[in-house]
Homo-oligomer: A and B are copies of this chain.
Amino acid sequence: MAKRISEHYTEQLAKLKEQVLRMGGLAEAMTRQVVQALVRRDAALLPEVRAMETQVNQLHVEIDEACIEIIALRQPAAYDLRFVTAAMKIIIDLERIGDQAINILEAAEDLLGVPPLKPLIDIPRMGEIAQGMLKDALDAYVGGDDELAQRTILRDDSVDQLKDQVFRELLTYMTSDPSTIPRAMDLILVSRHLERIADHATNICEDVIFMVKGKDIRHQAPSKVE
Q: A residues bordering B, Cβ < 8 Å?
A: 57-58, 60-61, 64-65, 67-68, 71-72, 75, 77-78, 81-82, 85, 88-89, 92, 171, 174-176, 178, 181-182, 185, 188-189, 192, 216, 218-219
Contact = CB atoms under 8 A, between A and B. Distances in A.
Contacts of A92: 89, 92
B178 A60 contact: no
A29 to B, nearest CB: 19
State the main secondary structure of chain A at its contact with B: helix
B61 A216 contact: yes
Contacts of A178: 174-176, 178
Contact of A88 (B85, B188, B192): B85
Contacts of A181: 171, 174-175, 181
Contacts of A68: 81-82, 85
Given A171-B181, A185-B188, A81 B71 contact: yes
Contacts of A67: 85
Contact of A57 (B57, B176, B218): B218
A103 B58 CA distance: 31
Nearest to A85: B68
A197 to B, nearest CB: 14
Contacts of A71: 71, 81, 85
Given A92-B92, A181-B171, A216 B65 contact: yes
Contact of A218 (B61, B77, B188, B192): B61
Nearest to A54: B219
A60 B174 contact: no
Contacts of A65: 216
22 contacts: A57-B218, A60-B218, A60-B219, A61-B216, A64-B216, A67-B85, A68-B81, A68-B82, A68-B85, A71-B81, A71-B85, A72-B77, A88-B88, A88-B89, A89-B92, A92-B92, A171-B181, A171-B185, A174-B174, A178-B178, A181-B181, A192-B192
